[in-house]
Amino acid sequence: MIILEAQGYRLELAPERGGAVLRLDWHGEPLMRPACGSTIFDVGSFPLVPFSNRIAKGRFNTGARKGTIAPNFPGSDHPHPLHGFGWLTAWSVIEQDDNHALLEHTYPGGEWPWPYRARQTFELGAQGLTNRLSITNLGDAPMPAGLGFHPYFPRDAETVYRGLHRGEWYNTPDCLPSSLDEHEEAIDWWQGESVDTRAVDTAYTGREGMLEIDWPARGLGLTIAPSEELTTTVVFTPQGQDYFCVEPVSHATDAINRAPETLAWLEPGQTATVSMTLSARTLPPAA
């Protein structure tokens, strides 16, 4: 385990466990859900590379190359592989000091017919945690690529999430997109209500501005600043759970089949990079 500390922030990383964050605290208060078990779904956050969310039946055909990826949902027979390869493999530690770490994962090609190198950097400072994720095409042909982050956050009955997006995807029962509800202007789909008022597992498109979480009972808030490439946000609010997910990502579900132009197409040797910064804030006392 790697521990980084700076400016009241404390970050625990598990490189061998999907390059995951185990926990992120600010002055002892958890900002991400602390790791609560032994599976990858029990961590605080993990990287999404070289694609986000699901590919229908694992099948794709870009015209130049096609492939089939086997189901990879741990402990399930869910038919649509998801989240790429980085979250289910060990990452190597390239650099580490008191407030900075660099991790690396290399994929040689296979089911995903393009070799690549992925890197994550974590840096703590006065602004909070900045997590960068990059992918470099190590092959000899253009490669489609998607990137993102999958953080889990604590949740109680009063937790509020705010994010402005133009579109919300409706899904089939097995979480593939079926239709898009889109507005001319970006809106708060929760309309200021608590996370508990909507049970969703879907993608929101056309993000504008920051994402915010408030925990009024804790007097604590969190601002998430995704880089401009992360135009989409996947939100998962399972009923009856003490966590929820807000995932800044670069494309919607099954984009390689439905909207391949929304992916980054990297020439051999080319790199794409995304980032998110998480900044804690104190909430004013309730009136």
Locus of tokens 């099948």: 59
| Mean local confidence (pLDDT), 76-94 | 94
The answer to whether residues 276 and 149 touch, using CB atoms and an 8 Å cutoff, is: yes
Which residues is 162 bridged to in the sheet? Answer: 212
For residue 284, what pLDDT band results from cuts at 50, 70 and 90?
A: confident
**Domains of the chain, first to last:** 2-154+212-222+243-282 (2.70.98.10)
For residue 77, what pLDDT band results from cuts at 50, 70 and 90?
A: confident
pLDDT of 286 strictly over 80: no
| Mean local confidence (pLDDT), 101-117 | 97
Locus of tokens 């605080």: 44
Q: Phi and psi for 41 in degrees, rounded to 5?
A: -75, -5
Average pLDDT, the chain: 96
**Cα 83 to Cα 88, 149, 178, distances in angstroms:** 9, 10, 19
Which residues is 78 bridged to in the sheet? Answer: none
For residue 285, what pLDDT band results from cuts at 50, 70 and 90?
A: confident
Q: Phi and psi for 46 in degrees, rounded to 5?
A: -140, 160
Strand ranges inside 54-99, DSSP E? 59-61, 66-68, 92-96
For residue 287, what pLDDT band results from cuts at 50, 70 and 90?
A: low
Which residue in 44, 205, 50 sits closest to 134, CA to CA? 50
Written as six digits, the tokens of 280 are 């804690």
- What is the Cα–Cα distance from 32 to 24, expressed in whole angstroms? 5
- What is the Cα–Cα distance from 226 to 163, expressed in whole angstroms? 11
Per-residue confidence (pLDDT) for residue 73, from 0 to 100: 86
Per-residue confidence (pLDDT) for residue 36, from 0 to 100: 95
